[in-house]
Amino acid sequence: MNEAPTNPLALIAELTHRCPLHCVYCSNPLELQSRSDELSTEIWSRVFREAAALGVLQADFTGGEPLARPDIVNLVRAARAAGLYVNLITSGLPLDDTKLAALVEAGLDHIQLSFQGAREETANEISGAKSHAQKLRVLEWLKQYRVALTLNFVIHRRNLNQLAEMAALAESSSATRIEFAHVQYYGWAFANRENLLPTRAQLDQSIAIIKREQERLEGKIRVEYVVPDYYAKYPKPCMGGWGRKLMLITPSGEALPCHAANVIPALSFENVRDRSLREIWDHSAAFQKFRSEDWMQEPCKTCDRRELDFGGCRCQALLLAGDATATDPVCSLAPQRPKVDAILAAVNLAPVSEGTGPTPPAADPLTRPVWLYRPNPA
Amino acid sequence: MPPELSSRPRLAPGCRLGENNQQRVLLMPERALRLNGPSLEIVDRCDGQHTVEQIIADLQKIYSKAAPQKVEQDILGYLALLQKERALDFDL
């Protein structure tokens, strides 16, 4: 298992950190990169060609809001011309019908449109912007185009009571896929965790509803879901294993093995301005760091599951155990699991005033959580 | 539910053939499916022109050493799988 995987399968292209939304669980790092540091159209185009030559199949255009890049249509065309399958992960805010037509004409394969809820009030509160109504307009425009559509719902204790409405929204659109993604706790979500983490009862109820919708929509819409790590028995094989399947390029060109890798101290990242993707994949110290099993401690080191989950998530180990080489503390076998259990106990003992029933109580300024909103970089 | 014999499957939006390391793949949102021999023959014919019945007849000719019944079952099973993946639309 120690040899370098021959090539990544997906390139996550964080085109910019600028975004019209301020979501309280944004997966961007707390230190956002500014517009003046962003890669040029030419460099991105070279990166797409190098990725395709390396064996990458898919490019995920994300951000921030990738549509904030004025050259987005040219970037789609360049990635497609290089031979990549092009996914656009977007809020839909800076979109109009003309832009959509140009993107599809340029070869866009798939749009993943994010929703922060099924109800306007919740969605606008979570995104910190008047965003929901525009997303509904985008859904209408999309019906005219032959492009795949996924609706992505990031779910948490404030909107778990809207799952059936979310599925109905997807059903009334041209979507062939729904993602119900429970928030994972990194970056901004880590900062807002106590207001987002669901109770065990909410989680169980949500999984039952999602499974029911999955069955009901079979053949029409594929329904996928991700459970929160904190409630899992074993950790996820984060990113399919460190440096095994994915490469992420930040707006300024750093090549990272995952979204949150820059929280790990003493890791330094190569930049695509200086190195080819092949050189980075094969030789970057950051990609090598947790690729083998040499770094593992007990219980991972001798665990039968080490080739299934690779010890879990390194960034989560750092955030919760203070040590990037520790067993992911969400693992039931981890020495640091009691830390996760204490976090869950606090959530499960506290009364939940919102998001449990079919109709939430009217918003009360006194019980409304104090959110740390993600700002916009310069 | 098995697909209707008279329906004409075609790749759903966002699903198309691609190639990786000399391996044909079916590209779709967030995933890719390897295609070999019979699966490639089937997907190649999911063009909105061939009916399910015609795809079966074609493959029974190509794989004439296999029992025709078995070929039919395998094709229906594979089309049902692609339908579940949401990779196909069926024109009537």
pLDDT in tens, A213-256: 999 999 999 999 999 999 999 999 988 899 999 999 999 999 99
Which chain B residue is nearest to residue A220, measuring alpha carbons?
B86
Which of chain A's residues have a Cβ under 8 Å away from the Cβ of B86?
Answer: 176-177, 219-222
Which of chain B's residues have a Cβ under 8 Å away from the Cβ of A218?
Answer: 84
Closest alpha carbon to A11 in A69, A50, A64: A50
Which of chain B's residues have a Cβ under 8 Å away from the Cβ of A103?
Answer: none
Distance from CA of A81 to the nearest CA of B (A): 13
Q: Say what the pLDDT of residue A367 is.
A: 60
* Predicted confidence (pLDDT) at residue A364 exceeds the cutoff of 70: no
Which of chain A's residues have a Cβ under 8 Å away from the Cβ of B83?
Answer: 219
Q: Does A176 touch chain B (CB under 8 A)?
A: yes
Strand, coil or helix: A74: helix
Q: Say what the pLDDT of residue A365 is.
A: 44
Q: Does A59 touch chain B (CB under 8 A)?
A: no
Q: What is the pLDDT of residues B61-78, one digit of tens each?
A: 999 999 999 999 999 999
Dist CA A209 CA A323 (whole Å): 37
Q: Which of B13, B21, B84 sits opposite A148 (nearest CB)?
A: B13
* Predicted confidence (pLDDT) at residue A358 exceeds the cutoff of 50: no
Q: Does A70 touch chain B (CB under 8 A)?
A: no
Q: What is the pLDDT of residues A97-139, one digit of tens each?
A: 999 999 999 999 999 999 999 999 999 999 999 999 999 999 9
Q: Which of A9, A83, A109 sits opposite B14 (nearest CB)?
A: A109
* Predicted confidence (pLDDT) at residue A354 exceeds the cutoff of 90: no
Tokens of B92: 């009537």
Distance from CA of A249 to the nearest CA of B (A): 18
Residues above pLDDT 70, as percent of chain A: 94
Q: Which residue has the higher pLDDT, A364 or A59?
A: A59
CA A97 to the chain's CA centroid = 26
Q: Are A208 and A276 in contact (CB under 8 A)?
A: no
Mean pLDDT of chain A: 93
A120-127 vs A132-142: helix crossing angle, rounded to 10: 110
Tokens of A46: 């070279």
Q: Say what the pLDDT of residue A353 is.
A: 52
Which of chain A's residues have a Cβ under 8 Å away from the Cβ of B32?
Answer: 9, 57-58, 85
Q: Say what the pLDDT of residue A370 is.
A: 86
Report the 10 Å Cβ neighbour count for A202: 20
Average pLDDT of span A353-374: 59
Contacts (Cβ under 8 Å, ≥6 apart) of A347:
A194, A197, A198, A199
Phi-psi region of B41 (alpha: psi -120 to 50; beta: other; left: phi over 0): alpha
Q: Which residue has the higher pLDDT, A367 or A366?
A: A367
Half-sphere exposure of residue B40: CA atoms within 13 angstroms, side-chain side: 10
Q: Which of B16, B27, B86 sits opposite A176 (nearest CB)?
A: B86
Look up residue A51 and give its DSSP letter: H
Dist CA A343 CA A120 (whole Å): 30
Closest alpha carbon to B89 in B52, B38, B58: B52
Mean pLDDT of chain B: 95
* Predicted confidence (pLDDT) at residue A71 exceeds the cutoff of 70: yes
Distance from CA of B64 to the nearest CA of A (A): 31
Q: Does A27 touch chain B (CB under 8 A)?
A: no
Binding-site residues on chain B for chain A (CB distance < 8 A): 1, 12-16, 18, 20-21, 25, 27-30, 32, 83-86
Q: Which of A55, A110, A112 sits opposite B21 (nearest CB)?
A: A55
* Predicted confidence (pLDDT) at residue A4 exceeds the cutoff of 70: no
Which of chain A's residues have a Cβ under 8 Å away from the Cβ of B21?
Answer: 55
Which of chain B's residues have a Cβ under 8 Å away from the Cβ of A149?
Answer: 13-14
Q: Which of B17, B22, B25, B86 to mutate to test the interface with A (most CBs of A within 10 A)?
A: B86
pTM for this prediction: 0.93
Burial of A8 (0-12, 13-18, 19+ CB in 10 A): buried
Q: Which of B14, B20, B84 sits opposite A148 (nearest CB)?
A: B14
Average pLDDT of span B2-15: 94
Confidence grade of residue A361 (pLDDT, cut at 50, 70, 90): very low
Confidence grade of residue A156 (pLDDT, cut at 50, 70, 90): very high
Which chain A residue is nearest to residue B81, measuring alpha carbons?
A219
Q: What is the pLDDT of residues A20-31, one digit of tens each?
A: 999 999 999 989
Q: Say what the pLDDT of residue B20 is.
A: 81
Q: Are A145 and A118 in contact (CB under 8 A)?
A: no
